[in-house]
Structure 1
Amino acid sequence: MAKKRVHEIAKAEGLSSKELLTVLKAAGVEAKAAASSVEEADAARAIAAARGNGTPAAAPAQAAPAKAETAVKPAANPAPQAAPARQQANAPAAEAAAQAPQAAAGSAPQSQAKAGGPKASTKPVRPAGSPGGGGGGGGGAKKRRVVIDSQAARRDQMGGPPPQRPPRRRGGRRRRPLLEEPPAKPDTPVEPEATKVNSGATVREVGEALGLAPAEVIKKLMMMGEMATLTQTLTDDSIKAIADEYDRKIEIVRAADEEPQEPEFDDADEDLVERPPVVTIMGHVDHGKTSLLDAIRETEVAAGEAGGITQHIGAYQVHHGEKTITFLDTPGHAAFTAMRARGAKVTDVVVVVVAADDGVMPQTKEAIDHARAADVPMLIAVNKIDKEGANPEKVKTELASEGITPEDWGGDTLFCEVSAKTHQGLDELLESILLVTELEELEANPDAPASGNVIESQLDPGRGPVVTVLVQRGTLGVGDSLVAGPQWGRVRAMHDFKGEVVEAAVPGMPVEVLGFDGVADAGEFVQAVENDRRARQLAQERADRLQREALARRNARKVSLDEVFARAQAGDIKELNIVLKADVAGSLEALQDELAKVPQERVAINIIHSQTGGINESDVMLASASDAIIIGFNVRPL
């Protein structure tokens, strides 16, 4: 039987790929992604079952509730009639039940006794606790006995209690929490929350945070062999040491790690709209990344760049049918590894470009490691298939050894064979990007306060600071007050990637913003605030924090492996990222095997990048972006 891809069957049946994947999973048909291939017959059976062709199996499920209803309804009405029949069958119960209606209604007809049976049993209960309920003392005693007997009779009959049990159950449920709450009180004393202390705080600020006099803090520092003044900034280690002396739990808050004060906004489902996916193109130098993007955009960008190598990150938008895709063109040269790592943090999909005539190269592996570290879906674009000596199968084999298995080999990674020169396979590449992002359900609220990230920034001699912002939420307009780290400004003008003036930028749209007071750092979070005064205040606070942290780092010593081990023992580290370098491939494999044998009950070891050769700046940048340590065997820094 012929096989078809999931998205092709979904398109033919008028379903989304995600819906069809759910249907196939429920039917037991294995399909990992929208590009997976399945048997047409299996898919047809799964769709038919989901659409209700298996109605014989569903009919009893609908008929069962109807039967249950018909059985319950008659049982609710004859219940009072069934009680006398049971009373006649049980003589003691009948006598007890007969005394109650006689005391309450005298010589009432049997029909009235049947209808008022439950009421007659409840009436004596009310006067039982009141002195005026009965005619005399003896009558009151008899009524109490009748109540007790009637309760016993009702327990045996199981007919009268149902109308009276719900109030008793409600009363029981109200009382049980009162009885269960006291045991929960001993659990309420939880560990006190950690006191937040800013990194680079002064002696005075540390004392205020811990509730200590500054003189006491200075005294402790002197006892530890450190001299400090009232306004001197302290290192993070010194702050932790003081807190440990007083058995205080603290949390060091750094300006770079602190989340910006983004305005809270509850997005309703009806307010969310689909936003374009953000795609980052990565790969080895001269493998045709910019040429491929140039072929997609049909503009001449690569020709105007020095040496044909991308010198900055560009953001562009491409229309494919009714969809829009935003591309980030990260540099491919090793000197721009930090910029490429930044691009992976704001992207939804990574397209790794590999030349068909060159194969997998060192920077190709780095791009794959960056995408994995950012937990971003990946696509492989095998470029230059029109050249002589192109061997796409060799590329697949080399990538399979790196853990990237093609979809047609049973994996879950899409491979697209393209040519930037002849434009071959470009439509398939764009279609594959949309397939991968369809399952992510990328949505944003255009009516929320604008926020996004800085993609790049530069100081233009004629226009001043120019900041490229990728809007991810809300709508950015001219006149909005923005803050990005220690920089702030008011939007004076905005231009799209074509250089055209725009008045508003919606989610997923990259724009050049004019109006910042300085060049913002790439990767900074950008948010719109209510006015310029608030923006200036937030930027100044952030600048002061960064300055104090820089002063504190001057006296701070580097983190050693002993401190990493101590943090792991304390439970502060759950996963240890490692960048592994060795002189030869044999040593590298031996190190990987030995690290895999290390017990990982407390801390999981994750090798994010391994390669032969010396430790270079690219390795340091990757380790810094991933909070990793670098282990080198028989190598030295380059």
Structure 2
Amino acid sequence: QKKELEEQERIERKLLRKKRSEEIYTKKTGIVEIAAQLTVKEFSEKIGVPVSEVLASLMKNGIMATLVQSVDFDTASIIAEELEVTVKQEEENLSSEDLLKGDLSALLVDDEENLKERPPVVAIVGHVDHGKTSLLDAIRKTKVTDGESGGITQHIGAYSITKNGKDVTFLDTPGHEAFTSMRARGAKTADIVVLVVAADDGVKPQTIEAISHAKSAGATVIVAANKIDKESANLDKLRGELSEHHIQVEDWGGTVPMVPLSAMTGQGVDELLEMIFLQAEMMELKANPKRLAVGTVIEAHRDPSLGPVATVLVNTGTMKLRDQFILGTTWGRVRSLTDEDGNKLKTVPPSGAVRISGIDDLPNPGDIFQVLKDKKEMKVKQAEIEELKLKEKNKSMGVTDILQSIKAGNMKYLKLVVKADTTGSLEAIQQALDEIGNDEVKAKIIHGVVGGVNESDIIMASAGQ
């Protein structure tokens, strides 16, 4: 009788184990998100299929695996298809190293099927007193005349307008240093750069600097020939001066559009907006609005009542209230979202610009904003960033570091800023540098101009590292 009881208990335990196994392994329906790399056991639990079935399917495909062996997404997707489960790859977070470097490229990769059209992001740059601010004001007026709420109630460094049912976001980046600082962190901020040049004054030192910034950023350039209402305006002279700096306008057989306008009278402003929309259409700008938000800091300051606040341009994804995020070397949870008109928002789509609060410390222009899934991810990122901050403290790239980087194959181009005393000297130096190079590394001039070395040149040189 004792043996019968023991046998009964053994059968019951076996049935209980089987029941638990069935509860754990209930085949998932719909789309299951899995990591780029995961173990066989993790994969089995994710898709709700017993390990034995997963191992059998792997074996059928010529893969001998164990429970703790890792499989990549491509392999997992083939096995999942055989087991009649639909899987997709989880969005990957940026490594803390890339996050601090400001390298957005890895984060912006997405499946074509998830991408939707997004508005263009436009930066307006130019020489001081050439009418950049007046042009921004003239564009703001078109927002009012289109029947939208008029008047910018607060300066957030970016704003959006809608023209003929199309949206565009403008970045107000006063001073070239701010623009270069973003470049120094490798942040992809603007799709299109509008280069404002006064038709009565022509190309000036800061115009040349702005051209270098735009080219270095890889942005599409549109020339806005301002002040055409003045008698001294000379468009042919301007075209010639621009061509000397490798800006060949369409009127002269080049590829760069030039729009003559007057910010003072409003003449040509609508044509400029139409040209921006045309260029954007040709560029086929897209982003995934359904993923966790990724963005770039435009500017930041301390608010007396809100603490650290930052204007963030959303590069992809949709930003929401209470999102947990990493922002450069700091972090936080979105407490408020405010647009340029002072409106409180709940969500911000791709290419939208918004002021956020709820930041632990003040970020820098160009820092990357990345929303994280949960507190666990947040803690891991915080620890990694704190460790990297200690390593990076007071670290700079000297000649020895550059040579080691070339030797390791990490540097293919040595980017240079060239300054000379005369145009003749500058041309000779540039030609000589163009001829230097081998299979390991080549010299690439990112900015060349006559004059003494200034702080802006140093910032631009740091952008080239």
Q: Scaled by the length of structure 1, what TM-score is found?
A: 0.52
Map 1:420-569 → 2, pairs under 5 A: 420-532=263-375, 534-550=377-393, 553=395, 559-560=398-399, 564=402, 567-568=405-406
Distance 2:178 2:337 in 1: 30
Deviations 1:583-617 (A, max 9, x none): 22221122122223335454332211111111111
Partner of residue 459 from structure 2, selected from 606, 612, 621: 621
Flag the 1:535–1:298 CA change in 2: closer, same or farther, 3 A. farther
Flag the 1:268–1:579 CA change in 2: closer, same or farther, 3 A. closer
Flag the 1:265–1:575 CA change in 2: closer, same or farther, 3 A. closer
Residue 531 of structure 1 deviates from its aligned partner by: 3.3
Flag the 1:444–1:258 CA change in 2: closer, same or farther, 3 A. closer
Distance 1:264 1:416 in 2: 31
Distance 2:247 2:285 in 1: 25
Structure with the higher helix share, 1 or 2: 1
Deviations 1:307-350 (A, max 9, x none): xxxxx871111112121011111113668753576797311111
1:390 partner letter: A
Map 1:43-442 → 2, pairs under 5 A: 256-257=100-101, 267=111, 269=113, 271-298=114-141, 314-332=157-175, 337-338=180-181, 345-442=188-285
Deviations 1:434-467 (A, max 9, x none): 1112122111121111111111111011221111
Q: Secondary structure at the match of 1:615?
A: coil
Residue 538 of structure 1 deviates from its aligned partner by: 1.8
Distance 1:608 1:263 in 2: 26
Flag the 1:624–1:334 CA change in 2: closer, same or farther, 3 A. closer
Whether the 8 Å contact between 1:485 and 1:543 is mirrored in structure 2 is: no
Distance 1:484 1:546 in 2: 13
Root-mean-square deviation (CA), in Å?
3.0
Whether the 8 Å contact between 1:583 and 1:613 is mirrored in structure 2 is: yes
Paired residue for 1:578? 416
Corresponding pairs, count: 360
Distance 2:367 2:130 in 1: 29
Distance 1:446 1:486 in 2: 25
Partner of residue 598 from structure 1, selected from 436, 439, 453: 436
Q: Secondary structure at the match of 2:100?
A: coil
Distance 1:406 1:395 in 2: 10
User: What is the percent sequence identity of the aligned residues?
Assistant: 46
Distance 2:270 2:186 in 1: 24
Distance 1:263 1:413 in 2: 30
Flag the 1:265–1:339 CA change in 2: closer, same or farther, 3 A. closer
1:408 partner letter: D
2:447 partner letter: H
1:595 partner letter: L
Flag the 1:345–1:432 CA change in 2: closer, same or farther, 3 A. same
Flag the 1:346–1:337 CA change in 2: closer, same or farther, 3 A. closer
Deviations 1:90-132 (A, max 9, x none): xxxxxxxxxxxxxxxxxxxxxxxxxxxxxxxxxxxxxxxxxxx
Whether the 8 Å contact between 1:488 and 1:516 is mirrored in structure 2 is: yes
Distance 1:318 1:345 in 2: 21
Residue 373 of structure 1 deviates from its aligned partner by: 1.2
Distance 1:531 1:520 in 2: 21
Deviations 1:467-518 (A, max 9, x none): 1111122211112112112221111111111111111101111011111111
Distance 2:313 2:459 in 1: 23
Distance 2:133 2:312 in 1: 20
Whether the 8 Å contact between 2:337 and 2:345 is mirrored in structure 1 is: yes
Flag the 1:342–1:436 CA change in 2: closer, same or farther, 3 A. farther
Flag the 1:432–1:342 CA change in 2: closer, same or farther, 3 A. farther
Distance 1:285 1:351 in 2: 14
Residue 298 of structure 1 deviates from its aligned partner by: 1.9
Gaps in structure 2 of 5+ consecutive residues: 1-61, 63-95, 144-154
Gaps in structure 1 of 5+ consecutive residues: 1-177, 179-251, 301-311, 628-638
Flag the 1:476–1:610 CA change in 2: closer, same or farther, 3 A. same
Whether the 8 Å contact between 1:457 and 1:519 is mirrored in structure 2 is: yes
Deviations 1:184-242 (A, max 9, x none): xxxxxxxxxxxxxxxxxxxxxxxxxxxxxxxxxxxxxxxxxxxxxxxxxxxxxxxxxxx
Distance 1:261 1:437 in 2: 20
Higher relative contact order (CA 8 A, sep 6+): 2
Q: Secondary structure at the match of 1:345?
A: coil
Q: Secondary structure at the match of 2:167?
A: strand
Q: Secondary structure at the match of 1:298?
A: helix
Whether the 8 Å contact between 1:330 and 1:340 is mirrored in structure 2 is: no
Distance 1:543 1:530 in 2: 20
Q: Scaled by the length of structure 2, what TM-score is found?
A: 0.71
Distance 1:293 1:510 in 2: 16
1:256 partner letter: L
Distance 2:141 2:115 in 1: 32
Distance 1:329 1:361 in 2: 20
Q: Secondary structure at the match of 2:194?
A: strand
Residue 544 of structure 1 deviates from its aligned partner by: 2.8
Distance 1:419 1:341 in 2: 33
Paired residue for 2:58? none
Distance 2:367 2:440 in 1: 33
Q: Secondary structure at the match of 2:426?
A: helix
1:290 partner letter: T
Q: Secondary structure at the match of 2:458?
A: helix
Structure with the higher strand share, 1 or 2: 2
Whether the 8 Å contact between 1:482 and 1:528 is mirrored in structure 2 is: yes
Question: Could you say which structure has the larger radius of gyration?
Answer: 1
Distance 2:321 2:121 in 1: 23
Whether the 8 Å contact between 1:489 and 1:535 is mirrored in structure 2 is: no
